Amino acid sequence: MGFLKRLKDVASGRIARSNRIIGNHGVRICEKLETHANPLLEALIGGTAVCTIEFLEAVLFDVKDFKYKDGTEEPNPFKENKLDEKNSYEMFKLVAGNYLARLIGGEYLDSVEDLIDIPKLKKEFLNIYEYNEEDTKIFNELLELAQKDERPSPELRLFDHIFERAYNIASPEALFHIMNFELLFRNSFTKIFLPGLLEVLKKENRERAH
């Protein structure tokens, strides 16, 4: 299964370019799955860990400073400010949570809600990612925005929360980078995370039917 192979590649460090800042968080979280037997929870945790690593690596290392036609520049704010291991996890868990907020808020689980205890799944997810009370408030805010499907998007608020929680500064006014952050996340959710998770769900449903 391509989705699971991707998880193994990340966990082995072959994809993560900055293990101390990003990759190690995903590996540590995935190691917690050894005590769980719920296939959906395993896929959800594994998928969010994989996608969060790749998304943050793109934001931190791939996104260039934006140059306007008049010669002025909009520096990548994620590169301008430094992260340590502790603060980078503040960013990591909020991004991972936004995948779940998008999943629930977009009603992707509605067709299987008679088979899945969504509140329990959410609680287990947030526990594994070590959410505290403030983190949970942020998650619920992002979930509410995802359910409304209007502006501001969850990603716009996520951008603000990352700088407030991980960098301990006010969210910078960086129009291009905010828009690019939103686009990168949406692409990651729709093109990588969601197809991989649905692949696991389909497999689980086939096994239930036999």
Q: What phi and psi, each to the nearest 5 degrees, are found at residue 184? A: -60, -40
| Rounded CA separation 74/192 (Å) | 28
Q: Which residue has the tokens 């828009």?
A: 179
Q: SS3 of 113, please?
A: coil
The pLDDT, as a whole number, for residue 1 is 41
pTM: 0.88
DSSP state of 73: E
Contact 131, 90 (CB under 8 A): no
CA torsion sign for 161, 171, 91, 84 is negative
DSSP state letter for 33: G
**Cα–Cα separations (whole angstroms), residue 55 to 103, 192, 201, 203:** 17, 10, 23, 26
If you write DSSP's letter for every residue of 75-86 in order, what string do you get?
--HHHHS---HH
| CB of 25 closer than 8 Å to CB of 15 | no
At 83 the pLDDT is 83
Pick from 121, 118, 99: nearest CA to 47:
99
Per-residue pLDDT of the chain (210 residues; tens, 9 = 90+): 444 556 556 555 555 556 678 888 888 888 887 666 677 888 899 889 989 998 998 898 888 877 777 777 888 888 878 888 889 999 999 999 999 999 999 887 776 666 778 899 999 999 999 999 999 999 999 999 999 988 899 999 999 999 999 999 988 888 888 999 999 999 999 999 998 887 777 766 666 555
- Reduced to 3 states (helix: H, G, I; strand: E, B; else coil), residue 51 is helix
The upper half-sphere exposure of residue 156, i.e. CA atoms within 13 Å in the direction of its Cβ, equals: 11
